[in-house]
Structure 1
Amino acid sequence: MTADSSPAGRLDRALASLRGLAVGDALGSQFFVPANYPLLQDRTLPPGPWTWTDDTEMAASVVATLAAHHRIDQDELARSFAERHDADRDYGPAVDRLLRQIREGGDWRELSSALFKGQGSWGNGAAMRIAPLGAWYADDPEQATHQAEISAYPTHQHREAVVGAMAVAAAAALAAAPGGPPGPGALLDGVIGLVPRSAVGAGLRRARDMLDYGDTTTVAAVLGCGRRTTAHDTVPFALWSAARALGDYAGGFWATAQVGGDMDTTCAIVGGVVAAGTAGAPPAEWLEHTEALPGWLTPADAI
C-alpha cells in the first residue's frame, strides 16, 4: 500500500494533522491560566471555547501554501505569515516585529537573517507549525525534511531551528505512513536518520535512549520541555512524547502538558504528529471545544 499522493489525499492528511495541532495548541494554552492548574493535574478539561495561538495561525499558512503550490514557496509563505499575523495570538517578540516589517514591505531574507545579531532565531516557531507538511509528504519523508527546511527560513534561519522543523516534519510523515505508523523506536530512528548532526539531533538520540522511561518529569528534565522556547529545548521531548502516544491522542496530550514548559507548543507538535496517523485523531469533544480553523483557510479551492 502506498500513501495517496493526489493533491486531495495530501490535503486530507495535512488538514487532519492541522486539526490535531490546533487542539493541542488551544488546549495546552489553557493551562497557562492559574485557575486551570489543578485541572491539569487531575486531567480535567477546562471549560471551552479554547482559542489557539500563533502555532495554529502559522500552521494554517503552511497548509494553504502547500494546497496552492504543492510545495513550499518561501515568498508566498512569508506573505501569508505577514498578512495573517494577529499580534494577539501570542507571537514571540522577534517574530512579531519581523512579520510587521514584512507586511510594511521589508524583505524577509534580510530581516530573518539579521535576527539576533545575524545568527537567526533558534526558537521553536518553525517546528511548532510544520507537522501538517510532514503529513502532506507521507509518501516521501526525505522530501518532507527538505520542504520543512525551506519553510523555516522566512522566520528562523539558525541551524537548530531549521533542524527542529525538519525533525517534526519527518516524524509526521512517518506517523502518516500507509499501513499505520512505525513503533516508537522505529519512528525516532527514522527521524534521527533524516536530520543532520545538531543539538536537536543529539537530543533526539537521548530521547531514543529514554523511550522506556516511565517518569515523564525526569525525561523532560533531561531533554527540556520548551521552557527556553528553543528548538533543541523543545523538539526532542515533544517527539519522545509523540512517539510513545501514536494512536492515543488524549494520552499523548496529558503526558506532554503535565510537565509544564511551553505547553501550547509542545502539545501542538505532539498533536500534529499523532493526528497525522489514521488512528490519532483528537477526541470529538475536544474538537468541539476548540476554536474553528481560520476562516480564510480554504485550500480545497486551490487544488
Structure 2
Amino acid sequence: MTADRFHRALASLRGLAVGDALGSQFFVPANLPALKRRDLPPAPWQWTDDTEMACSVVAVLAAHGRVDQDALARSFAEHHDFDRGYGPAVGRMLRLIREGGDWRELAAALFKGQGSWGNGAAMRIAPLGAWYAGDPEQATHQAEISAYPTHQHREAVAGAMAVAAAAAVAAEADGAAVTRERLLDEVIPLVPRSAVQAGLRRARDMLDYDDATTVAAVLGCGRRTSAHDTVPFALWSAARHLGDYTGGFWTTASVGGDVDTTCAIVGGVIAAAGRGAPPAAWEEATEALPGWLPAAPD
C-alpha cells in the first residue's frame, strides 16, 4: 500500500459518505421542504449500506493492494448491518456468506440466475477509482472484479466500471486539467457495450443542459435502483460539477430518485480530486467512518 493511494481513496470515501448520509436524509418526508430550499437537515447524518460497503473496498485495497474477491466478500458479510438499508436479496446473500455459503454460487443464483443488475456495485466503487488515479484502465479492470461477489449481471458490472473510471480520471493530477467533456470521453470507451454505456453516451450529449430534471427524465435517477437507471445521470452530474462538491450534491439530490446512492456516487467521484472535497461542516455533521477501517499510513 502506498500512502498517496490510500489518502486519495480515503478522500473519495469521505466524499461518498457525506453524499450518502446527507442524501439519505431526504427520504424523510419532513425534510423535503428543506431540499427545495437547499437547506441542511438537522445533524447528525447517518450513512447507509453505500458507505459501509465502500469501506470494505478501501479496507481490502489497503490490505492487498488490489481487489481480492474472497476477502471482499468476507468483509461485506462480516460488516453487514441490516439496519443500513441493504436490498433484501443482497442482505440475504451476505447472511448466507456469514453462515459459510460460497459467494460465487450465491451471487450467480440471484434473480433466477441472471445476477443482480442493481446499482450496489457502482455505489461503493469510487474510492477504488481514486486509488488508481490516472489509470482508468486498471480501475475498470479492478472494478469489474469487485462487482462479482454481489452483482454479476452485465449492467451492474458495467456501472461499477464506469464509476471507477470516472473517479480515476477525476483524481488525475488532482483533477485540475479534467473538463466535463474529457471525463465522459475517457470513461465511455472503457465501458463494455451495455445500457449503461448507451446512457453515458446520452449523458455526454446532454452536458450543456442546465435543467437537471430534464436530464434525469431522459437518463433516470435511480428510481428503479438499476445500474443503467443510476450511473449515467450520476456521472453527468459529477462531470458538470468537478471541483464543486456542494453544487454537485444539490443538483443530484434535487431530482429525487435513489438520492443516497446517486449522491454517494457523485460525492465519491468529485472528492477523488482534492479540489472537490465536501465542506468541512458537512463532514462534521456526517457519522464518522467505522473504526475497523485501517489507519492512514505515515
1:1-303 to structure 2, matched below 5 A, reads 7-178=2-173, 180-181=175-176, 182-300=178-296
Q: In structure 1, how many angstroms separate the alpha carbons of the residues matched to 2:40 and 2:294?
A: 30
Structure 1 length as normaliser, TM-score? 0.97
Residue 299 of structure 1: how far off its partner (Å): 4.6
How far, CA to CA, are the matches of 1:50 and 1:300 in structure 2?
Answer: 24
Q: Which amino acid aligns with 2:104?
A: R
Scaled by the length of structure 2, what TM-score is found?
A: 0.98
Judging changes above 3 Å, is the alpha-carbon distance between structure 1 residues 65 and 177 closer, same or farther for their aligned structure 2 residues?
Answer: same
Provide closer, same or farther for how the CA distance between residues 26 and 179 of structure 1 changes in structure 2, counting only shifts above 3 A.
closer
In 2, are the aligned partners of 1:68 and 1:299 still within 8 Å (CA)?
no
How far apart are residue 300 of structure 1 and its match? 3.5
- Mapped partners of 1:179, 1:165: distance in 2: 22
Q: Is the 2:174–2:273 Cα contact (8 Å) retained in structure 1?
A: no
CA contact (8 A) 1:67 1:299 kept: no
Q: Read off the aligned partner of 1:91 and give its amino acid letter.
A: Y
The corresponding residue for 1:3 is: none
Deviation, structure 1 residue 114: 0.3
Contact 1:63 1:299 in 2 (8 A): no
Structure 1 contact 65–76 (Cα < 8 Å) conserved: yes
SS of residue paired to 2:296: helix
Which ranges of 4 or more aligned residues in structure 1 deviate by more than 6 Å? Answer: none
CA 1:75–1:299: 2 relative to 1, 3 Å: farther
Q: Partners of 2:174 and 2:115 in 1: how far apart?
A: 39
Structure 2 unpaired stretches of 5+: none
CA contact (8 A) 1:15 1:63 kept: yes
Summarize deviations over 1:236-255 as a string: whole Å, max 9, x none: 00000000000000000000
**Pair 108,179 (structure 1): closer, same or farther in 2 beyond 3 Å:** closer
Structure 2 letter corresponding to 1:37: L
Write the distance in 2 (CA, Å) between the matches of 1:187 and 1:62.
Answer: 23
* Alignment length (residue pairs): 297
User: Gapped runs of 5+ residues in structure 1?
Assistant: 1-5
Three-state SS of the structure 2 residue aligned to 1:300 is coil
CA RMSD across the alignment = 1.0
Of all paired residues, the percent bearing the same amino acid is 80
Partners of 1:299 and 1:91 in 2: how far apart?
Answer: 26
Other structure's SS at 1:127 match: helix
Displacement, 1:298? 1.6
When residues 170 and 185 of structure 1 are mapped into structure 2, their CA distance, relative to the original with a 3 A threshold, is same
